[in-house]
Structure formats: C-alpha cells, structure tokens
Structure 1
Amino acid sequence: MTTNTVAPLITHLRHVDIAMPNFAEQRAFYQETWGLTETAHDSGVSFLAAEGSPEQYVVRLRQDGQKRTDLIAFGAAGPADVDALAERLIAQGVRLVHEPRVMDTPGGGYGVQFFDNEGRVVEVSADVAVRKHRKIEAREPVPVKLSHVLMNTPTPEATVRWYTDHLGFRLTDTMCIGDREIMWFLRCNTFHHSFGFVRGPHAAFHHASFEMRGIDEFMRGTGRLHRLGYERLWGPGRHLAGDNSFSYFLDKAGNTVEYTTEVETIDQDTWHPHLYDVRDPANSDVWGTANDMNEFVAARSQNDVDRGLFVAPPM
C-alpha cells in the first residue's frame, strides 16, 4: 500500500498507557494474573514492567472516570533525534502536546508528545534510564517484554500513510478479505511489527501483545488464564504474518491483550510486503489449532470509542 518517505528516527516500542474507572481491579489483573511487575505507583497510577525488559515500564495504568488510551510511547536513539523529529512534525503542521523536554516519569529521559491524525497521543523519547532486568527462566510464564500494539481506525489508509510519512514506519504485511484490506503491520526495526492498525468502526485500542520466553512459557501462560476462568477470545494458534504464536484475552477494562512469542525478524532492505487473504484460514493460523476467527470474535476487539482523542492525558 505505502512505503516510508522520511528518515526513520523511531527505534522501538516502549509502553502503552491506558486509563479506566476500575483502576484497582485492572492493577490487580496485570500484576497477579498477567505477570507484570509494579515498579512505581502513586495515587491512581501504576507503572508496570516486564521482568525481561530494560524498559522502566511497558504498561501505565491510570484511574479516570472514562476509559481511554492515554498514549503510545516509542524510543529514539538520542535527544538530537527527538529534536529532529519535533522540528519535522512542526514543519508538517502536526499538533504537539508539548515540545521536547526533560521527562518526569520513571527513568526520566527527554521526549516529545504529539497528536496523530486521528487524535491519539504519541510520545517519542530518548535517554530513559535502563531498568535492571533479568533473564526469564525456562517454564516461567511471565512476559519478557511488550511486543507490539495495534489500534482500531475507521480511516486506515490515511492513518497508515500518516505514520509512514511523518514517523518513518515501514509497512511489512497487510491482511485482507478479498479486495478489502483490513489489517496493516508496521515496523520501526527488524521485528516484523511493533505497531499496526485494524479497520474498525471507530478509533480505539485494539490489542497489546506481550512476548513470552518461548512456546512452552507461552502455553503455560495461556493455560494459567484458562484455568483462572478467563475466556480466550482467539487461540492458541500461530499467525502467518509475523510467524508468531497468539492467545488473546480481555483485561478487566475490556481491552484485548495477547501472549505471543517468536515474532519474526526480517531483513529491512530486502523485505517485500505481502498481502494475505484471511478467507484462507492458514493465513490467520498456520497451526490450525485456534478457534475460527469470525465477525463475532473480531467484534470483541473493536473496543469502546476512545474518549482520549485530541485530549492530552493529565500526566
């Protein structure tokens, strides 16, 4: 569909920040059930890290009267790249939430925040302190890191183009139903995708995916949630695009969360995007072990309308 037209300054995905009324219940889910570790907290705010990740946190939860996505955060190589990106965005007429500045979130750093074309808040930062992390042990069913985040959009063609033209993301693969494209996988490094978009009725959070150590740990995590009574929306199976395993669940605010592992790494210079038709079930699940992906399953991840569009979070 599109290729990037600007120099890529984003290096990786850092964290996703979400708000919800039922903060205490959501906080308990991510710590006690999903397997993240709280590294900092304040009244109505929780910063949650993945044990295997050097990022200070991969999820930030915030109590709010309305459910919303506060922001999606990415990394840059250094402060000069943050400044260069901000200058580019200003020249392109992009509305900033704030100009580059020293950050007061855990780990500090230097970052800029801005609205994308549909009103999501995006943060790009550098020089965030590296968190002391550890190697996840065999058979330990906790996330290693945040793998990727996908968002719903009613204007996917324009939105994908916005991210390639303004932020330098590259299109890796696309899913379709016949001649109707429905899902776009975007990359900012050699991982098949770190971000992406799903065609939906409104702008909203689609899912956040968490990398597990390996297939055994992935299955143990999937089984743990199943035994605790959590409904599996879809999975376990293995995608063709990205070659990664998948098991999808709902968190306590109705956001879709995924356990995955073995996301494909690619050669950036030689990769050619594919178009996969999901009418062939092997294009969605090469193992053939997952429940069928149908309109009823897909609708569960359409989520509520995001109440945070073009509204900066309070922190």
Structure 2
Amino acid sequence: MTDRLITHLRHVDLAVPDLARQQDFFTNSWGLRTEHGEPGLSFLAAEGSPEQYVVRLRQSGDKRVDLVAFGAASAADVDALAARLGTDGVTLVTEPGTLQTPGGGYGFRFFDNEGRTVEVSADVAVRAHRRIEEGEPVPVRLSHVVLNSADPEGTRAFYERHLGFALSDTLTHPRMGDMMWFMRINRWHHSVAIARGPHPSLHHLSFELRGLDEYMRGTGKLLRAGVEKIWGPGRHLAGNNTFSYFLDPHGNTVEYTTELEEIDEDTWHPHVYDFTRPEVSDQWGTANAMNEFVASRSFNDVDKGLFVAPPV
C-alpha cells in the first residue's frame, strides 16, 4: 500500500438521458437538495454534509458514471499524487489546477485501470450545512460507492497501490470464489467496494441517514411513494450497516444506510465472509433473500464512459 494522500469520498457524478426525471427523483423522493445548477447540469447536496454536492447529474444521450471524486488534505498532496501517478504510467485526464465546479478548489483527473474517470481535489470551500433532526428521513452524507468490475483483482490492486486504499473485508462464495472487496481510505469500514461483475459499471451509491429510526422512516417513505425496492431492509455483517436498496429512474441502484462501522485501523484484521450464510447478507433476517434476480439488478448497464473523460 502506498502512502495515503486521499482523505475521503466527495461525490459521484452521473450522466443520464432524462435529467429532469433524475433530478426530481433525487430531490423529491430521495431527499437531496439542488444546491447549484446550470443548463444540462445539476449539483445535488446532502443536507448534513459539508461537501458542496454529493451527486452531480449531467444531461447526456449516454447513461454513464462521469466521475468518482475524492478529497485530499492539501494542494501539495494533490500535486504529489498526480506526480506519483504520472511516474507510474497512469493516464492523467487533466493536470492539477483550479477547479471550475462549485466550491472551487485545486485538483486533477485520471483514468483508473478500467477507464473510470477519477478526480482528487483539495481546498474546496466548505458548504453551509446543518444538523439533521430526529425523525428526519433525508441523507446526512454520501456514504460509499460500489463499483462493478470485470477485473476486480486488478481494480483492487490499482486502488491499493496508487491511491492508498486498504482492504477491510471480503465476501466470498464456495463455488465462485471472492466476489466483493470492501476498501477503506479512513476509519469508515469502506468508502469504496469492488464487486465482481460481467462488466465495469456502477453497482450502487449509498447514502447515510441520521440513525435507525430515520433510516426506517426513509425506507418507508420510498415504499409508500412506489419506488421499486430491490433488497432490504436488513443489516449486513461486513461493515455492520443497515441496507435498503432501490432503483432510480435510470436503473441505477441507490441505498439508504446507517451505522456504517468505524474501525481502529491499527488493530483491524480483514475478515473473509461466506455470503451464502444468511447472517452475512442480513444479520436481522428481515430482508428478502439474496438471489440471482436481486444480484442481477445491480449489474447495471455497461458503462459507456470508460476511457472517455466527461466533457465537464
């Protein structure tokens, strides 16, 4: 593992054919807030997060992941990481410089091993945010992103070697082998997870709610609104977090969660969990069974943005 220059997950940017419909879902159903906007772009914030936005939406003919963005502690760390990646032969999309997105800052972009565009930035202005109140079923922050990979071992190695991620836990199957790797960049059990899939794509985005009551209220709110639920509510063993998975209007999986585990990195030893054991998928036993149908909904469409940087 390389020295850690990344501090946290900032935002994930999606391109969608129907921007208005996607924005309506994320604001009126999911509970995000439109913080900034311009023609063809919408920047959505989580009420409890200091990040300028946690999701950016872009109108496009192609559905794709535009960007996965991480924070760094300083401009010097941004420069050091860019130099290190360049030396290691990683393709830089942009050189370090001033960002033109809300909150400004200093950052750069590069392609990961499978062609996803990744951004690392520092000195982004802190957004005025608020404490989420008891019983309020809206996201506090973006919790984590899970990526489908056709080369998960290679993707895990890339994020460990180049970005300083560490393995927290692994899910395995007695016949299919290792299937998901939970990767951390700070004390949170995972900010990124890598899932073995048929092609590179978004597996899911996860949003943290205030607590168990707010998580259940949010889950119920979406069910009453007729949003399609894929899996949950339940509680995973790896990460010890709750889960309720839904489909957004473009077929992306999005999750409400809470109580993701914070670990002592000095003493943590990764586990290997057999997810055919029911308690690994759901400690509570309240969720619908994990089966091939449920799993296939998170394979998603082939990402059309691989090795093609977003236009903005």
TM-score, normalisation: structure 2: 0.99
Instruction: Tell me which residue corresponds to 1:232.
Output: 229
> SS where residue 299 of structure 1 aligns?
helix
> SS where residue 221 of structure 1 aligns?
helix
Instruction: Tell me which residue corresponds to 1:75.
Output: 71
Instruction: Tell me which residue corresponds to 1:282.
Output: 279
TM-superposed CA distance for 1:232, in Å, is: 1.1
Does 1:33 find its partner at 2:29? yes
Instruction: Tell me which residue corresponds to 2:253.
Output: 256
User: Which letter maps to 1:28?
Assistant: D
Q: Distance in 2 between matches of 1:222 and 1:249?
A: 9
Q: Which runs of 5+ in 1 are unaligned?
A: none
Aligned pair partner of 1:293 in 290, 295, 309: 290
Does 1:169 find its partner at 2:165? yes
> SS where residue 229 of structure 2 aligns?
coil
User: Which letter maps to 1:78?
Assistant: S
TM-superposed CA distance for 1:44, in Å, is: 1.1
Q: For 1:183-225, what per-residue CA distance to the aligned partner results, in whole angstroms no more than 9, with x for missing partners?
A: 0100000000001111000000110000000000000000001
TM-superposed CA distance for 1:63, in Å, is: 0.3
Q: For 1:3-42, what per-residue CA distance to the aligned partner results, in whole angstroms no more than 9, with x for missing partners?
A: xx21011000000000010111001000000000001001
Count of aligned residue pairs for this structure pair: 311
Q: Distance in 2 between matches of 1:147 and 1:280?
A: 25
Q: Distance in 2 between matches of 1:137 and 1:71?
A: 31
User: Which letter maps to 2:46?
Assistant: A
Q: Distance in 1 between matches of 2:196 and 2:44?
A: 29
Aligned residue runs from structure 1 range 160-199, under 5 A: 160-178=156-174, 180-199=177-196
TM-superposed CA distance for 1:230, in Å, is: 1.3
Instruction: Tell me which residue corresponds to 2:300.
Output: 303
Does 1:117 find its partner at 2:103? no
Percent of residue pairs identical: 65
User: Which letter maps to 1:35?
Assistant: G
* Ranges of 4+ aligned residues in structure 1 off by more than 2 Å: none
> SS where residue 6 of structure 1 aligns?
coil
Q: Distance in 1 between matches of 2:189 and 2:2?
A: 19
Q: Distance in 1 between matches of 2:272 and 2:85?
A: 30
Q: Distance in 2 between matches of 1:259 and 1:38?
A: 19
TM-superposed CA distance for 1:70, in Å, is: 0.1
Instruction: Tell me which residue corresponds to 1:149.
Output: 145
Does 1:221 find its partner at 2:245? no
Q: Distance in 2 between matches of 1:16 and 1:122?
A: 9
User: Which letter maps to 2:119?
Assistant: E
Q: Distance in 2 between matches of 1:36 and 1:181?
A: 34
Instruction: Tell me which residue corresponds to 2:8.
Output: 12
> SS where residue 233 of structure 1 aligns?
strand
Q: Distance in 1 between matches of 2:296 and 2:137?
A: 28
TM-score, normalisation: structure 1: 0.98
> SS where residue 85 of structure 1 aligns?
helix
Q: Distance in 2 between matches of 1:70 and 1:155?
A: 20
User: Which letter maps to 2:137?
Assistant: P
TM-superposed CA distance for 1:66, in Å, is: 0.5
TM-superposed CA distance for 1:270, in Å, is: 1.1
TM-superposed CA distance for 1:238, in Å, is: 0.2
Instruction: Tell me which residue corresponds to 1:131.
Output: 127
Q: Distance in 2 between matches of 1:95 and 1:268?
A: 31
Q: Distance in 2 between matches of 1:313 and 1:43?
A: 16
Instruction: Tell me which residue corresponds to 2:39.
Output: 43
> SS where residue 21 of structure 2 aligns?
helix
Q: Distance in 2 between matches of 1:306 and 1:65?
A: 13
TM-superposed CA distance for 1:102, in Å, is: 0.4
TM-superposed CA distance for 1:269, in Å, is: 1.3
Q: Distance in 2 between matches of 1:196 and 1:81?
A: 24
Q: Which runs of 5+ in 2 are unaligned?
A: none
Aligned residue runs from structure 1 range 95-110, under 5 A: 95-110=91-106
Q: Distance in 2 between matches of 1:295 and 1:84?
A: 43
Aligned pair partner of 1:62 in 58, 61, 64: 58
TM-superposed CA distance for 1:157, in Å, is: 0.5
Q: Distance in 2 between matches of 1:232 and 1:64?
A: 26
